[in-house]
């Protein structure tokens, strides 16, 4: 994996049984393990959404995790990704859980 591949920012929204199952906590843990920054939060309509920023290959790993794995008790029905763009610098300092 080339480290000079650049940084990307991607917004996401995950649907299914993703609230009340520690989905945000597990997402934060996985993002930190991959060295990514951004945030995750519950929405008022029962989904989880946020933003991921970091090296492209690592972001892809987290996208796959959000699409297929999630927290142990979660059931993911759909993961949507939008607003993907290349960025020069990270806009977040860490990966946070927002209330």
Q: What is the pTM of this model?
A: 0.93
**Cα–Cα distance for residue pair 42/48, rounded to 1 Å:** 4
pLDDT at 5 over 80: no
Q: What is the pLDDT of residue 1?
A: 39
Confidence band of 78 (pLDDT split at 50, 70, 90):
very high
CA–chain centroid gap for 97, Å, is 11
Q: What is the pLDDT of residue 37?
A: 98
Residues 12-40 pLDDT 10s: 999 999 999 999 999 999 999 999 999 99
pLDDT at 2 over 60: no
Q: What is the pLDDT of residue 99?
A: 87
64 contacts 30 by C-beta, under 8 angstroms: no
95 contacts 29 by C-beta, under 8 angstroms: no
The verdict on whether 78 is a catalytic residue reads no
The catalytically annotated residue of 24, 67, 75, 78 is 24
Query: CATH for 7-97, among 3.40.50.300, 3.40.250.10, 3.40.50.150, 3.30.70.100?
Result: 3.30.70.100
What average pLDDT does the chain have?
Answer: 95
Shortest CA distance to 78 belongs to which of 45, 55, 29, 31? 45
The catalytically annotated residue of 33, 42, 58, 75 is 42
13: how many CB neighbours lie within 10 A of its CB?
A: 17
């Amino acid at each position: 994996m080339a480290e000079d591949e650049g940084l990307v920012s991607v917004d996401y929204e995950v649907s299914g049984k993703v609230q009340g199952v520690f989905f945000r906590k597990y997402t934060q843990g996985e993002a930190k393990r991959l060295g990514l920054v951004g945030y995750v939060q519950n929405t008022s309509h029962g989904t989880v959404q946020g933003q991921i920023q970091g090296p492209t290959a690592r972001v892809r790993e987290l996208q796959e995790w959000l699409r297929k794995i999630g927290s142990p008790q979660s059931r993911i029905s759909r993961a949507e990704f939008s607003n993907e763009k290349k960025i020069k610098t990270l806009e977040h300092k860490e990966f946070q859980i927002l209330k």
